[in-house]
Amino acid sequence: MWQLNLDRSKEQIAEPYGYRTQIHEADDSSRRRQKDIKALKQQKAAEMANKPFMGMFSTFLMLYMSGSALNIIPIIITCMAMFTPIKTLFSFKEAFAPYEEEGVSLFFPKLKYLTLNMITMLAGIYKFSIMGLIPVNAEDWISMIPIRDPIEVSYGTLIS
Amino acid sequence: MWWILALFVTVSGIYEDQVGEYDWSLSHIGKVSYFAPASSGRYIVATERGIIAGLRSNGKAEWRKIVSKLDNPVLITSSSNFIATFSDNQVSVFTPHDGTLQWTKGIHDVLDIKIVALSMKEYLCLQKSQEIEVLELSTGESSRVFSLGNVVKIIGANDGEIEVQAKEEILTIWTINIKTGKTEKVSGSLKGKQFCLKNACVSQDKDKVEIYEKGKFFVKEWKGKNIEKTINNSNYALTEDHEVYEIKENYRKIVAAGPGIFSAGEDELFWISPSSTEFILIIYSINEGTSKQAKVIYKEKLPQIEHFWGFLTQKGEFVGFLTLSDFSFTCFTSTEIKWVREEGLGHLKHVYFAELPNKALHHSNDYVSAIKQDNSWVKSPFNFLLRLKIQLQSFSLWLEGKSKIDEEKELIQDVFGINKLILGVSASNYIFALQSLYKNTVWKKSFIEYGEFYQLVQTGIEEILLIFKENTNIKLVWILSTSGETIKTETIKDFDLLEAIILDKTEKPGVLLVSNSLKVKNVTKDVKAENIYFYKIDPKENTIFGYKIIGENSHLVWSMALSAQEEIKAFATEKESKIHQPAIATGTSRLIYKHDDANMFALATIKSSDLYIYVINGVSGSILAKLRQEGVSGSVNLVLHENKLIGHYWNSKYSRYEMIAGEFFDSQVDTSATHVLASYYEGTFEDKYSSFDLANPIIFTQTYAFPGGIKDMKVTRTLQGITTPDLVMILNTNQVYTLNLKWLSARRKQEEDKTEGIFDQPNLPIYKPNLPLVQHNILTYYMNLDGLEQLEITWTLLESTSLAVAYGLDFFVVRVMPEKSFDILTREFSRSTIVMTILGLILLNVVVERYFSYKTQRNNFKQ
């Protein structure tokens, strides 16, 4: 007769070819791998947070080089400098979605990401203000000042 | 996407380099008072404006000379070789073919001049009160002076001697022998009325005449009526019953004509008798004793004939010339009118603009009225819809084939509003209507029967009100602007007109008449007249009186007495340029406010070489500014525009022309946007102000040296008042010059001044004491215009463009673009490219929309 004893702890027989590793051994490895992935995600999130930083200098250089004259080139460059951070701000949830996981802290990367984008945007706003395109002065609202009509009207003549 | 299509509106453009093509001018000589045919079919004329000119046979002036000064009286005589004139104590001699000055000489007290030919040599005889001076005509050297006592007239030359009519009761003739210097006096025996003709003199005493001819007197029985006058440059005398006699030893009756006007040729006598639109011409051949009659049709109602000259050409054809009461100079033959020179336009006293009706985009249509009334953001969609409606109307007209309207013939306004009716009031008591685009006289009409012209105002799209003074009566005449036809007339009796007040220059302005007794008459009863004040500046009393109109009376509100030594030199008010932008964006983040006072007027006086300029509120009489400049003499020009005052004068202390610039500001300065926004949303901005509550302005003044004298100056006006205006001037050199008002700012800072003032405006040019005279700003470029005295400026429907008219002797119409042609398309502008680009973008939009719609559907299906 044959028998199958599932308790093989006392046996010293080599396991058959292709027989899978013991379960408890496998659990340890998965845990380690999960730990690696979390670290990777954290690292990737940090990289994503640094991404705006990489484009910042080229943007600043372009803003500086385009001058503050009111013509189409500086306006286009400044609009692009403004538009890119705005676009990324609207899509920053999607940008960090792959890194969302329990135990992965995205607060600081997100904050950094937002801050860097805000800095680029502020640079654009500053450029617009230099160009006089942001209505912050009294003279920007000159059209609000109504034309006054006189209550009394006078007419005159020089007798010849 | 289809809403984009709604944005399409039809636009038109003119090219930059076409602008110069639209200025035009008319050259005049004035009312002709002297005429003489010259060689080669030319004519020599002299006019009441003190001009001599050589005309070609087609009426064009080949040359013209202002003898001394415009309107100075000129004595003229001419021969085939020379023209001699006396004016302003100068005797001058010109050549007839090109008007070249041969010589000129200062001689005083000349009463008459005459060229006399003696033995192949020509002399110029100058008649003075007690003597005759004879000069050699070709050189001007003085030959002799002959003291003859009182003389009447230089008759001419006879047998080598000059004959002069002495001022005696009995016909007395002096004879002067140039060679020997001997003078002799011969007298007749008959007392009576004396007439001296070309070669003879006659003295008539009832039925007896004494005739002087060739040094002898003949007493004869006179069979005709009393001699009334002589026919110019002939031996023919005209009696009071229109009979013509040839005066010679055996005088004879030539013809008995009816009432008419005579002119004498070599051996012919020409007689014309005018009727309403034609005149009869009769040519009498003296030697043959025959006559020919012709009828000449005049193109319109014939004005009164003032002068008539006629002669036969070498081919024996008759040519006649008329000076008419409208001051026109007309050339005609025995069959037709050949040409007419409208010289009434050379005597213009006033010029007004009238709007022409426009079938598609008239300024009075709903759209333009709407944007004029309210062009705010809130209203703009409604205004836009109105504009679309008008465009659709234009489009439907185009579909019907009615868009190509002959603007010149139909008298309509063009799309740019540049075609206006220019109404010129002439010293001839005629009003001339010209089209500003087409250089043509649309109509001319005499209003002499209504009295002295006072004022003209457009009261409707095609209606004009003319105001005339006739002693103590007022005549109001409403006419059709496009034809000059009288619509109706009204007489206001016992109303001694002091002032006509045009209440508002809109399409239906109110007109108030004020009498010297301060009675008020509202001519346009449907227009309410409330809170109306008026002032009169009385140079006799040297006082300014301010009144308030209450009902049909006016009451004195204020008066201001000038000192007795002050002479009023200039007065300026600017009712038409209301402030379009009450504040100025200085470019320093500060907002400064113009002193917004539509009731300001300026008055310049000179008191012992000191110039005083008063800026006064016409309602309250408060003096806003009193500027003083030392060492000023001569004429002063003043202009008031929005919050700016500009004066031009001669500074005798530094011997230069100067301009003074003044600017008036409110003390309020806004540095914060929040204040402006809060005021706007809280509604604390006032949209009305009372002259009694206005605070005194802050005044800036600056003086500049200007390189020339000017006759008149005005500021350009544009439709919305957005364009920075130009100051347009008529220089003493008769050139029309423009200068942008930024150069005449009183706030231009000196280069070394680094301090920052709250009214500073960095975009103003740095202060330089000399104003520029830039050649390309001379609007008359190389044109040789004369006698430009006054200037009128109006707006067009192009914001960049004003229309200016300079007039006086010559007439010059020009478009002025102070900020260049920012709303005018360049020649390179391709309408087809822009249309194709827009259509391409629309097509691309449609294709991309369809493509992505299809792609999305496909992706969704796959999922």
pLDDT tens track for B455-464 = 999 888 888 9
pLDDT, position B363: 42
Q: What is the mean pLDDT of residues B518-540?
A: 86
Give the DSSP letter string of B478-539. Answer: EEETTT--EEEEEEE-S--EEEEEE---SSS--EEEEETT-BEEESSTTS---SEEEEEEET
Write out residues 478-537 of B within 8 Å (CB-CB) of A. 498-499, 501-503, 531-537
Contacts of B596 in chain A (CB under 8 A): 148
pLDDT, position B502: 86
Burial annotation B554-590 (CB, 10 A radius, 16+ → b, else e): beebbebebeeebebbbbbbbbebebeebbbbbebbb
Report phi then psi at B840, rounded to 5: -60, -45
- CB contact B555 to A (< 8 Å): no
* B158 CB neighbour count, 10 Å cutoff: 18
Q: Which helix (H) or strand (E) holds A23?
A: helix A23-65
Termini Cα distance of chain B: 30
- Residue B837, classed as helix, strand or coil, is helix
A146/B676 Cβ within 8 A = no
pLDDT at residue B22 tops 80: no
Distance, in Å, from the CA atom of B244 to the CA atom of B257, rounded to the nearest integer, reads 8
* Smallest CA–CA distance from A129 into chain B, residue: B589
Write out residues 596-615 of B within 8 Å (CB-CB) of A. 596-599, 601
pLDDT at residue B364 tops 60: no
Domain ranges of chain A: 52-134
A–B CB contacts, 8 A cutoff, strictly below: 140
Distance, in Å, from the CA atom of B640 to the CA atom of B843, rounded to the nearest integer, reads 54
Choose the weakest-confidence range: B86-90, B194-198, B824-828.
Answer: B824-828
More confident residue, B299 or B282: B282
- CB contact B694 to A (< 8 Å): no
Q: What is the mean pLDDT of residues B133-148?
A: 87
* Side-chain-facing half-sphere of B119: CA atoms under 13 Å: 6
More confident residue, B408 or B82: B82
* Smallest CA–CA distance from A138 into chain B, residue: B673
Q: What is the mean pLDDT of residues B65-73?
A: 91
Percent of chain B with pLDDT over 70: 93
Distance, in Å, from the CA atom of B590 to the CA atom of A139, rounded to the nearest integer, reads 6
Distance, in Å, from the CA atom of B114 to the CA atom of B85, rounded to the nearest integer, reads 9
The answer to whether B5 and B792 have CB atoms below 8 angstroms apart is no
Which residue has tokens 């007689």?
B271
More confident residue, A39 or B622: B622
Tokens matching residue A3: 């028998």
Distance from CA of A129 to the nearest CA of B (A): 12
A156/B601 Cβ within 8 A = yes
pLDDT, position B149: 86
Q: What is the pLDDT of residues B463-511, one digit of tens each?
A: 899 999 988 899 999 999 988 999 999 999 999 888 888 887 665 678 8
pLDDT at residue B774 tops 50: yes
pLDDT, position B368: 67
pLDDT at residue B539 tops 80: yes
Furthest C-alpha separation in chain B: 138
CA B476 from centroid of its chain's CA atoms: 23
A149/B687 Cβ within 8 A = yes
Tell me, what DSSP letter sits at residue A137? B
Choose the weakest-confidence range: A1-15, A75-89, B579-593.
Answer: A1-15
Bridge-based pairing state of the strands B337-341 and B348-355: unpaired
pLDDT, position A19: 67
Q: What is the pLDDT of residues B647-701, one digit of tens each?
A: 999 999 999 999 999 999 999 898 888 888 998 898 888 888 999 998 999 999 9
Closest CA to B592 of B716, B704, B745: B745
* B342 CB neighbour count, 10 Å cutoff: 21
Q: Which residues contact A148 (CB under 8 A, 6 or more apart)?
A: B582, B596, B686, B687, B688, B689
pLDDT at residue B775 tops 90: no
Query: Which residue in the set B502, B539, B689 is minimally distant from A150, CB to CB?
Result: B689
Report phi then psi at A59, rounded to 5: -65, -50
- CB contact B618 to A (< 8 Å): yes
Furthest C-alpha separation in chain A: 148
pLDDT, position B793: 94
Q: Which residues contact B358 (CB under 8 A, 6 or more apart)?
A: B365, B412, B413, B414, B417
More confident residue, B527 or B251: B251
A151/B691 Cβ within 8 A = yes
Termini Cα distance of chain A: 148
Residue B331 Cα distances to B35, B233, B321, B338, B341, angstroms: 12, 20, 5, 5, 9
pLDDT, position A138: 87
pLDDT at residue A126 tops 60: yes
Which of A37-41, B300-304, B431-435 holds the top average pLDDT? Answer: B431-435
Closest CA to B542 of B496, B601, B629, B607: B607
Percent of chain B with pLDDT over 90: 44
Contacts of B502 in chain A (CB under 8 A): 155
Residue B802 Cα distances to B740, B808, B821, angstroms: 13, 20, 11
pLDDT at residue A22 tops 60: no
- Residue B38, classed as helix, strand or coil, is coil
pLDDT at residue B72 tops 50: yes
pLDDT, position B231: 87
- CB contact A134 to B (< 8 Å): no
pLDDT, position B831: 79
Distance from CA of A137 to the nearest CA of B (A): 5
Q: What is the mean pLDDT of residues B608-614?
A: 94
Bridge-based pairing state of the strands B532-538 and A153-158: parallel
pLDDT, position B19: 47
pLDDT, position B87: 93
Distance, in Å, from the CA atom of B621 to the CA atom of B615, rounded to the nearest integer, reads 10
Distance from CA of B430 to the nearest CA of A (A): 22
pLDDT, position B773: 87
pLDDT at residue A35 tops 80: no
pLDDT, position B255: 83
Distance from CA of B598 to the nearest CA of A (A): 7
Choose the weakest-confidence range: B320-324, B512-516, B613-617, B807-811.
Answer: B512-516
- Residue A126, classed as helix, strand or coil, is helix
Mean pLDDT of chain B: 87
pLDDT, position B585: 87
Report phi then psi at A74, rounded to 5: -60, -35
Q: Model-level pTM?
A: 0.82
Query: Which residue in the set A138, A151, A156 is minimally distant from B536, CB to CB?
Result: A156
Tokens matching residue B586: 């200085």
Find the radius of gyration of the CA atoms of chain B. Answer: 34
pLDDT, position A84: 86
Q: How many residues make up chain B in this entry?
A: 863
- pLDDT-derived band of residue B437, with 50, 70 and 90 as boundaries? confident
Task: Please give the single-letter amino acid code of residue A76.
Answer: I
Distance, in Å, from the CA atom of B376 to the CA atom of B264, rounded to the nearest integer, reads 72
Query: Which residue in the set A142, A148, A156 is minimally distant from B585, CB to CB?
Result: A142
